[in-house]
């Protein structure tokens, strides 16, 4: 009996010994694997070896550049079990997080190598680095990477955008030009470069800063949901300011809502209201169906009776009597715009509105840029044409509006808008320089001149835009107030409006267009002429002062209110090459539309050198190079 018990005890001890040995072997193998394996190859992020290109404004002001950033990680097989609790507590205090949070990250990770925090600033990791230099904080690792900093904070944040994981662009210019900035464009047979391309934007940081302050004040004063102010050079298509409120800080973009970071000037579409009358009236005028002196009976409403007996009525704010083109714009008469639209066919009206760029992306907005919407005439009702004429039943973006406006005032040419002035490689060599690019001719020069004259009347004391007027500067203006559609009822809201004003200065030699939009104002007024026009005036003052535009007495009105405006002679080329010395880029734009000639412009300013020289015969297909200085 005793021998049997002894044998059973010995068998148990053998089994226990085998189990313990196996367990020890498992533990040994696990730590051996971890020691040999080191960091998880799939978990470690590769440090960016290429410094991301710098972003500047048009004058070379620094807007975005790379600085060292750090990722904090841990190798669990290298921790000191006796000091790990104190180490985690110290690191947690340095990062401003709880020790429990760090312990949870370490515990829940199934790999030996685990990231604890990413993209940390130098000042944050300095205490940790000091401990590591002394041989403390066993198992903790600081990994240096390239990070992005925006020295001007919120300035032009919606245009510039920001970078994320791996220092890759996520929004704005950072996203759109990620390959150029990251150096991917330069990774040719010469090998990997050490720096990406630098980008110079078309915006002027001084003007951007001033207009952002104006927009911020306007948003607060009017208790608005959002405010846009965008300024564009009407002769080059270059965006001079790109302002949207509310804004955000790209240095800390994660702290802001996606709706605050969204580039609404290119993705948000809306019915523009009466500012759109400049495009509808210009379309009918350019079609030769009205003249600037054609009059309309604006007795308080547009009225039309259909053969079925149905009546269409579109009301004005007040009865205005008989109005011509200037009067319709000055009073912003729905009746006048409606009656003018009766003279043009639906098909031609639709085609001409599209020619301004509506219904298509501008190409300079965010990846999700909205093309807006104008339904095909096949689906129009009898009410659609006069309704579109006053800025309803058509959806646009702020970018489309400012771009289209330049064609109305620069002699009739729609230009491709641009936000990048030039791109240089790491050695300062030019990779790209923006030159004005004509999309198509939209209006004749005569129509453009007539529209400018009519829009000047809007800024007179008799017009809705008188609050936009800057003393001693001729201005062409158009105001607008649009009811917004209630998404719940799908009917026009009685409380939500969009107030806007468009201005061009100087009217006698258009250089800059400014478009102001106030979305859902909840202050004392919602009318564009009352709340958006003063914002335009302040913006125009900033443009004049910062860009150094001259002030002078506005052109004098003569007899019937017409204003005589000097228009530079456009360049023309016949069978013999003329002398184009001294011609401005604006005067040369019509040449770019020539399909029978290869016209190339180099530089900025005025023509200094031309090839071929004056007097040379010109044949179809000839290459003409004009050097501007």
Listing DSSP states for 176-217 in one string gives HTHHHHHTGGG-STT---SB--EEEESS-HHHHHHHHHHHHH
Residue-wise burial string across 340-372, b where 16 or more C-beta atoms lie within 10 A, e elsewhere: bbeebebeebbebbebbbbbebbebbbeebbbb
Chain centroid to Cα 428, Å, comes to 26
Residue pair 244/211 in contact by the 8 Å Cβ criterion = no
CA angle 303, 309, 315 (to 5 degrees): 20
pLDDT given at position 624? 92
Q: What residues have CB less than 8 Å from 592, skipping those under 6 apart?
A: 436, 437, 438, 599, 601
Residue 278's nearest CA partner among 325, 323, 221, 320 is 325
Q: What is the pLDDT of residue 7?
A: 54
CB 240 within 8 A of CB 211: no
Which H or E element spans position 27?
helix 2-37
User: Residue 373: its pLDDT value, please?
Assistant: 97
pTM value surpassing 0.85 = no
Q: Tokens in use for 610?
A: 């031309």
Instruction: Give the residue among 54, 216, 286 at the shortest CA–CA distance from 150.
Output: 54
Residue 453: C-alpha distances to residues 22, 296, 560 (Å): 95, 18, 12
629 touches 601 (CB < 8 A): no
Residue (of 451, 49, 442, 121) closest to 275 by Cα position: 451
Give the closest residue to 499 by CA, choosing from 481, 511, 477. 481
Non-local (6+) Cβ contacts of 192 within 8 A are 49, 50, 183
> In this structure, are residues 142 and 151 in contact, taking their beta carbons and an 8 Å threshold?
no
List the one residue out of 356, 399, 418, 372 whose CA is nearest residue 517.
399
**What is residue 480's predicted lDDT score, i.e. its pLDDT?**
97
Q: How far apart are CA 243 and CA 228, in angstroms?
A: 6
Q: What is the predicted pLDDT for the residue at 588? A: 84
230 and 241 Cβ atoms separated by less than 8 Å: yes
Q: What are phi and psi for residue 178, nearest 5 degrees?
A: -60, -40
The answer to whether the CB of 418 falls within 8 A of the CB of 406 is no
Contact 292, 285 (CB under 8 A): yes
Under 8 Å between Cβ of 551 and 576: no
* Residue 608 near residue 628, CB atoms below 8 Å: yes
Q: Which two tokens stand for residue 208?
A: 């951007």
Longest dimension (CA), the chain: 136
As given in the structure block, the two tokens for residue 43 are: 């978990």
Q: What is the gyration radius of the CA atoms in the chain, in angstroms?
A: 33
Count the helix, strand and coil residues of the chain and give each as a percent rounded to the nearest 5.
35, 25, 40
Residue-level pLDDT at 81: 87
Quote the tokens at residue 264: 């609404």
CA nearest neighbour of 533 among 484, 498, 500: 500
Which residue has 């641009």 as its token pair? 418
Per-residue pLDDT at 3:
54
Cα–Cα distance measured from residue 497 to residue 93, given in angstroms and rounded to the nearest whole number: 49
CB atoms closer than 10 angstroms to residue 142:
14
User: What is the pairing mode between strands 607-611 and 623-628?
Assistant: antiparallel
Q: Which residues of the chain have pLDDT under 70?
A: 1-49, 186-192, 553-569
Q: How far is CA 10 from CA 1, 16, 554, in A?
A: 15, 10, 114
* Res 121: pLDDT: 83
What is the model's pLDDT at position 30?
Answer: 41
Neighbours of 56 (CB within 10 A): 21
Contact 69, 147 (CB under 8 A): yes
Please give the pLDDT value at position 302.
97
Instruction: Name the DSSP letter for residue 107.
Output: H
Distance CA 304, CA 469 (A): 36
Nearest to 477 by CA among 536, 552, 392, 400: 536
Q: What pLDDT is recorded for position 49? A: 58
Secondary structure (3-state) at 423:
strand
How does DSSP assign 71-105, residue by residue? EEEEEGGG--TTTHHHHHHHHHHHHTS-HHHHHHH
Would you state the pLDDT for residue 40?
Answer: 42
- Contact indicator for 62, 104 with CB cutoff of 8 Å: no
**Cα 386 versus chain centre, distance:** 31
Hey, what's the torsion of the CAs at 481, 482, 483, 485, to 10 degrees?
-160
The sign of the CA dihedral 503, 506, 510, 511 is negative
Tens digits of residue pLDDT in 73-104: 999 899 888 899 899 999 999 899 998 999 89
**What pLDDT, on a 0 to 100 scale, did the predictor assign at position 559?**
37
């Amino acid at each position: 009996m005793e021998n049997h018990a002894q044998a059973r005890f010995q068998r148990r001890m053998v089994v226990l010994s085998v189990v313990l040995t196996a367990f020890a072997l498992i533990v040994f193998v696990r730590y051996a694997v971890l020691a040999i394996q080191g960091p998880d190859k799939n978990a470690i992020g590769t440090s960016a070896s290429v410094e991301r290109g710098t972003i500047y404004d048009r004058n070379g002001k620094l807007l975005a550049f790379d600085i060292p950033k750090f990722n904090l990680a841990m190798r669990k097989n290298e921790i000191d079990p006796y000091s790990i609790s104190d180490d985690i507590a110290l690191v947690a205090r340095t990062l401003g997080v709880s020790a429990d949070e760090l312990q949870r990250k370490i515990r829940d990770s199934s790999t030996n190598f685990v990231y604890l925090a990413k993209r940390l600033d130098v000042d944050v990791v300095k205490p940790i680095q000091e401990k590591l230099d002394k041989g403390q904080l066993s198992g903790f690792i600081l990994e240096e990477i390239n990070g992005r900093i925006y020295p001007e904070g919120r300035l032009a944040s919606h245009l510039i955008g920001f970078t994320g994981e791996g220092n890759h662009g996520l929004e704005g210019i950072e996203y759109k030009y990620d390959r150029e900035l990251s150096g991917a464009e330069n990774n040719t047979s010469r090998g990997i470069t050490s720096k990406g391309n630098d980008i110079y934007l078309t915006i002027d940081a001084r003007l951007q800063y001033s207009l952002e302050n104006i927009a911020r004040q306007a948003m607060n004063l009017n208790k608005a949901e959002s405010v846009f102010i965008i300024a564009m050079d009407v002769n080059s298509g270059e965006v001079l300011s790109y302002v949207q409120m509310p804004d955000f800080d790209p240095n800390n973009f994660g702290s802001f809502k996606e709706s605050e970071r969204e580039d609404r000037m290119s993705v948000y579409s809306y019915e523009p209201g009466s500012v759109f009358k400049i495009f509808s009236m210009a379309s009918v005028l350019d079609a030769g169906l009205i003249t600037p002196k054609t009059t309309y009976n604006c007795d308080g409403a547009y009225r039309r009776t259909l053969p079925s007996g149905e009546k269409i009525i579109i009301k004005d704010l007040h009865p205005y009597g008989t109005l011509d083109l200037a009067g319709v714009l000055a009073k912003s008469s729905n009746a006048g715009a409606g009656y003018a639209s009766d003279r043009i066919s639906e098909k031609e009206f639709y085609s001409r509105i599209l020619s301004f760029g509506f219904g298509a992306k501008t190409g300079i907005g965010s990846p999700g840029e909205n093309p807006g919407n104008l339904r095909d005439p096949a689906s129009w009702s009898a009410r659609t044409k006069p309704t579109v004429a006053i800025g309803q039943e058509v959806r646009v973006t702020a970018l489309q509006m400012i771009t289209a406006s330049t064609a109305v005032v620069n002699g009739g040419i729609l230009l491709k808008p641009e936000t990048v002035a030039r791109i240089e490689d790491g050695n300062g060599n030019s990779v790209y320089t923006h030159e004005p690019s004509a999309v198509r001719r939209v209006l004749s020069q005569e129509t453009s001149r007539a529209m400018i004259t009519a829009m000047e009347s809007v800024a007179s004391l008799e017009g809705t835009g008188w609050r936009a007027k800057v003393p001693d500067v001729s201005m062409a203006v158009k105001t607008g107030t649009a009811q917004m559609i209630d998404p719940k009822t799908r009917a026009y809201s009685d409380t939500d409006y969009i107030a806007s004003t468009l201005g061009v200065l100087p009217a006698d030699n258009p250089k800059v267009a400014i478009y102001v939009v106030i979305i859902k104002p909840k202050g004392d007024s919602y009318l564009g002429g009352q709340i958006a026009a003063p914002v335009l005036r302040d913006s125009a003052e900033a443009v004049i002062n910062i860009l150094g535009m001259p002030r002078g007495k506005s052109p004098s009105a003569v007899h019937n209110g017409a204003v005589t405006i000097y228009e530079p002679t456009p360049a023309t080329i016949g069978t013999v090459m003329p002398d184009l010395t001294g011609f401005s880029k604006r005067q040369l734009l019509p040449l770019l539309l020539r399909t029978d000639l290869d016209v190339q412009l180099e530089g900025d300013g005025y023509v200094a050198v031309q090839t071929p020289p004056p007097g040379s015969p010109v044949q179809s297909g000839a290459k003409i190079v004009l050097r501007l200085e």
